[in-house]
Structure 1
Amino acid sequence: MSQEAAAGLCLTIDLNALVGNWRRLKDLVAPAECAGVVKADAYGTGIAMTGPALFAAGCRTFFVAVPEEGAALRAALANHDPAGSAAIYVLAGFFADAAELYREARLSPVLGHFGELQSWRKWPGRDKAALHVDTGMNRLGLTLADTEALAEAGGPGPGIDLMISHLACADEPEKPLNERQRERFAHAKALLGLPRASLANSAGIHMGRAYRHELCRPGIALYGGASHPEAISDPVVTAEARILQVRTGHPGETVGYGALETLRRTTRIAILSAGYADGYLRAAGSSDMASGALVSIGGHLAPLLGRISMDLISVDVTDIPEGLALPGKTAELFGPNVDIDAVARHAGTISYELLTNLSRRAHRRYIGGVESGGPS
């Protein structure tokens, strides 16, 4: 018996689509380099498979959140990059108490404050690092005053070959903070004189050449999520839930916890084997006051009914041919027929959260990519 046959929720991860998205961005940003952001287990898609697929396509620079992720990526790349040529930057910086892991996995920290910079300089095992400058987000990074002081003190020193910052509002291109951040970043770049700089994330890539510099860092755009009004990205993840039962409800009856949705007609209700324990967000459900997300069954869209439970989702399949909505068949929660960003909007969130919340309980199967003789 296959693992897929025993699973309630199956995720199909299309590595060809992932690589296609990266190649499209690579061509768009040239002559700048196009990196790959693979933090949070490659946005829930599985770093052990997506990392090698991106490397085989030509990606040579990666970004992770923490050193543990970086070590996992280096291990995943071992058979494809035995020389360890890929650059892996750790966005959370330098964890001094995990210094040996940086050395073993050849990880480059992104340094964000003076204390961290000094700690890294004192470490005898240091190699390469990047410098993070905060241009208006107030998260990680040196302030512009810190950057000016660093420049006056002679610069960041040997081994630091990249400066980065992060755009706060690139998905809303009309916001004036975008231009202010671009100007501040250009000022910091001129002060420090580092050979490479990286400002543009998925959305920032579409802000124009002035935002791209020498290296771009797409994340969600690689995985099929929307990032900018002009962005094009093919779906990478298709989530399909098994239909467990189809039952009939009658007018005046309610569906699910809290009795939030009242039936207005005789209704065929399909019960799906997935829920918020699988990462399908509870807020995407439906009520008498607000409609919820849609699913697709046999190419036909159907609305959710009531609250999403831990392990179950109810769907109105009254208008779907009976032969399509049967126990043992599946419903697409998101994928080529149901836009993941539309589902996220119903849940009051973004596709980033939906992807990275996907449970390990879901069975993952991969199509395309290196292992199946796909793009290389």
Structure 2
Amino acid sequence: MVKADAYGCGLARVAPALWRAGCRTFFVAHLSEGIAARKILPEAAIYVLNGLPPGHAEVFRAHGLRPVLGDRGELLEWAAATDGAAPAALHVDTGMNRLGLRVEEALALAGDPLIARAGIDLVMSHLVSAELPDDPLNAGQAEAFARVRDAFPPLRASLANSSGTCLAARARHDLLRPGYALFGGNPEPGRRNPMRPVVRLEATILQLRAVEAGESCGYNGRWQAPAPRRLATLSLGYADGYPRSASNSGHALVGGVPCPIVGLISMDLIILDVTDASEARRGATATLIGDSLDIDTVGQAAGTIGYEILTGLGSRYVRSYVE
């Protein structure tokens, strides 16, 4: 999965690295992402998850992209444009109620010449609650998808996303679709991801200041010093994708010391309480993701998930890649 600019990590650098590692099938969400991926991956199979927009079959063909078809109208349009000469995937909804044919609709297509005319070479679905392995929805979806797969025996099948790779073998089938897990995020709470985290987020301390007990900082004075404290202002804010909802709840590391975020996060700046960080000085580095501060912890402090943090990282960062 390399949608959303490879989960915010940079498609242009991530996709070739995955190709060199042996990946040959890639998934994106939108047609524009597929076109960008094709420029980087001339030989890969690239599926576009959000289906076939009306009137765009020739654009897909021109770029060698494979639409994930989720209703009969899409199937008919793709078949009329390609007559089996260009591959596509069949999306079956087993419980998400977002996109895809219902299970009974898909089963009714078994043996229908339309499947061959649409070039279907993959049948797929998406898990609703894979990060919670004991959720009964998983078993229900696995059973429903098994029925669909049995109805289309020649086709490859794909059900498991990042979290689904941790479920029983019945969820894994022929093709896995890991995304977040590839970048070191933990898709299943309470179970360690064996993949090494790849993202490290750092910012420079712009200024230090001392405040007395009772003084506030940031917009609306939402934090007041309980005692004399030393504060450091960092060179990033919510315009860089660091969520404002982490105000007064998140933290960063300075010299390995956890330093709480104090006051409201602003567009370009974050304030830390660095009283306990002896290495804090103007020009020093604060770590906002990395070392003992993983991306899921950052998401939890912001009241969201690590996926949102990762995909939301902004364009103003200087990005350095190490292979």
TM-score band, normalised by the shorter chain? Answer: over 0.9
TM-score when scaled to structure 1? 0.82
Is the 1:71–1:101 Cα contact (8 Å) retained in structure 2?
no
Aligned position for 1:40: 4
Which residue of structure 1 lines up, in the alignment, with residue 242 of structure 2? 280
Q: What is the match of residue 23 of structure 1? A: none
The structure, 1 or 2, with the larger RCO (C-alpha pairs under 8 Å, 6+ apart) is 1
What is the match of residue 107 of structure 2? 148
In the alignment, which residue of structure 1 is the partner of 2:263?
Answer: 306
- The 1:153/1:105 distance shift into structure 2, 3 A limit, reads closer
> Could you tell me how far 1:155 is from its partner in structure 2?
6.2
Counterpart of 1:8?
A: none
Amino acid at match of 1:86: A
Over residues 204-241 of structure 1, what are the superposed CA-to-partner deviations in whole Å (9 max), with x where a residue is unaligned?
A: 01102111101000010011111013332311111111
Q: Percent identity?
A: 49
Is the 2:76–2:114 contact (alpha carbons within 8 Å) kept by the matching residues of 1?
no
The aligned counterpart of 1:341 is 296
Q: How does 1:255-274 map to 2 (within 5 A)?
A: 255-274=217-236
Supply the RMSD in Å over aligned alpha carbons. 1.4
Alignment check: 8 A CA contact 2:57 2:77 kept: no
Q: Does 1:325 align with 2:284?
A: no
How many residues of Structure 1 are paired with residues of Structure 2 in the alignment? Answer: 319
Q: Secondary structure at the match of 1:133?
A: strand
| Alignment match, 1:24 | none
Separation in 2, partners of 1:99, 1:122:
9
The SS at the match of 1:364 is: coil
What is the letter of the counterpart of residue 163 of structure 2?
A
Mapped pair 1:52 → 2:16: yes
1:65-104 correspondence to structure 2 within 5 Å: 65-77=29-41, 84-104=42-62
Q: Which residue of 1 aligns with 2:28?
A: 64
Query: 1:155, 1:100 → 2: CA distance?
Result: 19
Question: Contact 1:235/1:336 (CA < 8 Å) preserved in 2?
Answer: no
Match of 1:373 in 2: none
Matched, 1:243 2:205: yes
Whether contact under 8 Å (1:273, 1:313) holds in the other structure is: yes
- Distance (Å, rounded) in 2 between the aligned partners of 1:141 and 1:57: 31
Give the C-alpha shift of residue 124 in structure 1.
Answer: 3.4
Q: Deviations over 1:182-211 (max 9, x none)?
A: 000001111222420000000101102111
- Superposed CA deviations along residues 228-265 of structure 1, whole A, max 9, x for unmatched, are 13332311111111111000111111121121111111
Please name the residue that 2:176 is paired with.
216
- 2:91 corresponds to 1:132: yes
Q: Using the alignment, how far apart are the partners of 2:240 and 2:30 within structure 1?
A: 24
**2:208–2:233 CA contact under 8 A, matched in 1:** yes
CA contact (8 A) 1:155 1:192 kept: no
CA offset at residue 152 of structure 1? 5.9
Within 1, Cα distance between the matches of 2:197 and 2:254?
A: 17
TM-score by length of 2: 0.95
3-state SS, counterpart of residue 121 of structure 2: strand
Q: C-alpha separation between the residues in 1 aligned to 2:197 and 2:112?
A: 48
Cα displacement string for residues 265-305 of structure 1 (whole angstroms, at most 9, x for unaligned residues):
1110000010000000000110xxxxx11101122211111
CA distance in 2, matches of 1:152, 1:363: 53
Distance 1:97 1:116 in 2: 10
Is the partner of 1:270 in helix, strand or coil?
strand
